[in-house]
Structure 1
């Protein structure tokens, strides 16, 4: 990915020596995590129709979204990058380069979704990305690095321990900087779902769902986030940021973190009824769909007859 020299987002908090952060715990809803097209499409009439269908499916009042709803109430992106507290471990050049990389990727997602929302006459409330080491406290509760990167709707933050990228390369056999970018774009996809109202309604309704129903709906939520990541990737290609092999890196990452692939890797067999993120084939296909189509109308996983 051609990322060097591009704008870095100011919405990055460096909490790698902060001892887990200072947020409250447990009141922000479930974390949406990675498990252990795009700018030109905009939000036209077709998108609004799909949003309306999704709203009816999940019980959301479509007028809330079509008139802007809670967009203005979601925290925006005015947070400046915060350095880790003094006295922390010295940062290597490689670590600092990685911080710059994720900051650029986040900035690129801001540009992509900012334009899509602007095309619909709305303002995109930018999420914050918080770096941590080992464990962290969020509005969704405490989490350890072992749980992987995640998005917390309660504080509109994406959380990631950069050590996950080494695990992605080594354990999941998904190397490459665009595989790393895909991870961030997926979690930002959850933020978009949060903003348009899909994620909050799912989190509210899941309390009355059976486990099977929760898993089935969670899969649709996750696959839509993959599709949204594909929309961002399509915009990155239009900007000339993709290099040879980048798309394959993202598709391989989506494949390697499918529910079936992870279960085969960790326990030697698969339990389809427990899938809640999508199979390798589904994750790869929905990312590719977002990339090929480049618009939100392509990402209607809720009414799709076949995932």
Structure 2
């Protein structure tokens, strides 16, 4: 391998095209644009693909020139079909003693109070009161023919989707149980074992993220995911032997079995390493399904210098780190993660920094320095349920360096 760390894979088959009604982009300097994934920019151009405005999906699929955002779905319904409503007591019964009537009224009042508490909890989402949406949600199978990715019509809309996306107004359920999934030894498990685990992993990720994405007015299909051991061709180009990537061209997640070997020996057996990496890649799937990814890519391509473009790339990457941290925060208790395990994952985040992987302390690249990646991962890991904490598009550029 000629590069000190694995190349990143671009999220879309080619650089953004010119959507109708968009201002002309300036001529691009001769540098390659970084892409979501773990590692160093290395972005091959794929012939035959065009981006929004003429974005050609694999198999002749035509992406529309303008995304019509779906209507906001209805809030979660309480399991059992319970509909809040007023209690209607029956007519008074004759022949009851005064004490009997008092007892009846006490029962009625207790019923009213109980109904009021249930309704209040439903409306306010009080934690720990009844089944929570994330715990009752049954993830669908992987979507092999997912709907179109949202595409902004203008740069102004792209800016709005990056900085004020409706997903930032949502929250996740903490904790969320994923008891059907247990951590695996990513270093020593077979490819078949890892593939089986990967399916349970995406189901667990959907359990946490499906609700907030849909509540924000977007669609969140379950992305197909696969483990590979040899270089693999995707709709976004060729993935080398050691990599992990979300590809927007086919909306799939890819994970290389040898990936743990890029880390120092003492970290290669770190508990939840594979899960953390896939949590990051699923973060890119969230960005794609909410329009953040394509919006960021549009502005990244409009940049006139590599340094300016790298800022957009880093905002995208550290946001995916933060999303991964939020997911681990939610499912950590059901996975038996100790404080020591979590500290090990923070060290993993640090070791994915551009400076750590390249050995160049002052490198200006597309993922962020080790301390920066660790900090944003820890923001999601140690914060609350509100997704706005992962809005990496409003802080100054120095916060994503």
The TM tier, using the shorter chain, reads: 0.5 to 0.7
Listed as ranges, the gaps of 5+ residues in structure 2 are: 1-11, 17-33, 41-126, 128-132, 134-154, 168-187
Aligned to 1:206: 300
Shift of the 28–131 alpha-carbon distance from structure 1 to 2, 3 Å rule, reads farther
Greater RCO, 1 or 2 (C-alpha within 8 Å, sep 6+) = 1
Shift of the 205–178 alpha-carbon distance from structure 1 to 2, 3 Å rule, reads same
TM-score (norm 1): 0.67
Aligned to 1:196: 290
1:153 has 2:248 as partner:
yes
Aligned to 2:272: 178
Aligned to 1:32: 36
Which entry has the higher C-alpha Rg, 1 or 2?
A: 2
**Once structures 1 and 2 are overlaid, which stretch shifts more, 181-190 or 150-159?**
150-159
Counterpart of 1:281 (choices 365, 371, 378) is 371
Counterpart of 2:380 (choices 272, 276, 290) is 290
- Displacement after TM superposition at 1:94 (Å): 3.7
Structure with the bigger percentage of helix: 1
- Displacement after TM superposition at 1:290 (Å): 0.9
Aligned to 1:116: 212
Shift of the 169–57 alpha-carbon distance from structure 1 to 2, 3 Å rule, reads farther
Shift of the 150–93 alpha-carbon distance from structure 1 to 2, 3 Å rule, reads closer
Q: Is residue 130–residue 158 contact of structure 1 (8 Å, CA) maintained in 2?
A: yes
Shift of the 219–180 alpha-carbon distance from structure 1 to 2, 3 Å rule, reads same
Aligned to 1:240: 334
- Displacement after TM superposition at 1:108 (Å): 1.0
Query: What is the distance in 2 between the residues matched to 1:186 and 1:99?
Result: 17
Counterpart of 2:361 (choices 270, 283, 290) is 270
**Once structures 1 and 2 are overlaid, which stretch shifts more, 95-104 or 254-263?**
95-104
Q: Deviation per CA, 1:257-297, whole angstroms, max 9, x where unpaired?
A: 11111122xxxx3333x221111111111111112223211
Query: What is the distance in 2 between the residues matched to 1:155 and 1:286?
Result: 28
Q: Is residue 325–residue 381 contact of structure 2 (8 Å, CA) maintained in 1?
A: yes
SS at match of 1:33: coil
Q: Is residue 169–residue 176 contact of structure 1 (8 Å, CA) maintained in 2?
A: no
Count of aligned positions: 235
Listed as ranges, the gaps of 5+ residues in structure 1 are: 1-24, 43-54, 68-91
Query: What is the distance in 2 between the residues matched to 1:57 and 1:212?
Result: 23
1:104 has 2:200 as partner:
yes
Q: Is residue 179–residue 250 contact of structure 1 (8 Å, CA) maintained in 2?
A: yes
RMSD (CA atoms): 3.1
TM-score (norm 2): 0.52
Q: Is residue 191–residue 227 contact of structure 2 (8 Å, CA) maintained in 1?
A: no
Shift of the 173–65 alpha-carbon distance from structure 1 to 2, 3 Å rule, reads closer
Aligned to 1:249: 344
Query: What is the distance in 1 between the residues matched to 2:159 and 2:190?
Result: 47
Query: What is the distance in 1 between the residues matched to 2:37 and 2:195?
Result: 20
What are the residue-to-residue correspondences of 1:134-153 with 2, within 5 Å?
A: 134-146=230-242, 148-153=243-248
Counterpart of 1:130 (choices 219, 222, 226) is 226
Aligned to 1:162: 257
- Displacement after TM superposition at 1:58 (Å): 4.2
